[in-house]
Amino acid sequence: MEAVLDQSLDVGAYLGKWLDHVHGRVRQKTWQTYESMIRTRVGPAFRQIPLADLHALHLQSLYAELMKTGLSGGSVLNLHLVLTNSLSQAVRWGYIGANPADGAQPPRPNRKELEVLDQASTEAILAAAMGTRMEAPVGIAIATGMRRGEVLGLRWSDIDEQMSATQVSRTLQNTTEGLVFEPPKTRRSRRKVVLPAFLKPYLRRQKADQTRRRKKLGEAWVQTGVVVDFEDGSPWNPDSFSPAWSSFLKRAGLPHVRFHDLRHAHATLMLSKGVHPKIVSERLGYERRSKTVAPAA
């Protein structure tokens, strides 16, 4: 029996159907971002508009209003990409004949100037982190270029016995349902990384420190196997790691940089040593960028 589409469906109801459709097809954190965007930014404006009547000018007006409220150009662009993806599905399902988002023009985001850490700044951060909770995550990030979630999701079982290589196979994410270990976003992000010799003492000290704390806590120790833990063996919530990072920099009297900038520092140091850019890109797990960032449904 052929399905009959509800042609009176309004935009809000349709987007609810689309969210149900993509749930489980994208990472949990990604889905929550989609749901939040649609609930807070699209739903109130388009709840009463029939999907069949949605026009590019509706979207253009929405973007303008959101910019007036102070929303950044980058955030509006991300919303546009989500709407483009969701409305493309409406075309595939036969609700509408063309995608109205194709005729709307999102603002160009103001790109923040990239913070580039030179070797002296990088060494200053390494020195300040020595003997603190930040020693291991800082050492790993600078030595490998791994992302914050990848560093926090790294397990000892991912590292070979010689501590000469590791497999990046998961990332730690904070969701509305709690902390979850998820596969990296892209195929290239799932990668093997050769570990430089200077990182080995960092890893050995971290393992010894965990052994000491595990003996002290006894049954209270949480056995997760993560390399960078939250004092009791449990994973370190990325949302609490970031303020801890800021506090560390402030206490050390260092300029404020993002933890993510250590990833850039790793790339810069490798390039300065003559490593081919393609190898650096593969090491960092970069995926070739497409025109849209929202994954196809």
d(CA 198, CA 31): 39
Higher pLDDT, 113 or 192: 192
> What's the pTM value of the predicted model, to 2 decimals?
0.69
Spell out the domains of the chain, with CATH numbers in brackets.
Answer: 11-103 (1.10.150.130), 119-284 (1.10.443.10)
Mean pLDDT of the chain: 88
Instruction: Say which range, 13-17, 35-39, 92-96, 186-190, has the weakest mean pLDDT.
Output: 186-190
pLDDT tens digits for 170-206? 999 988 788 999 988 788 888 999 999 999 999 999 9
What residues contact 55, with CB distance under 8 A and at least 6 apart? 100, 103
Paired strand residues for 166: 159, 193
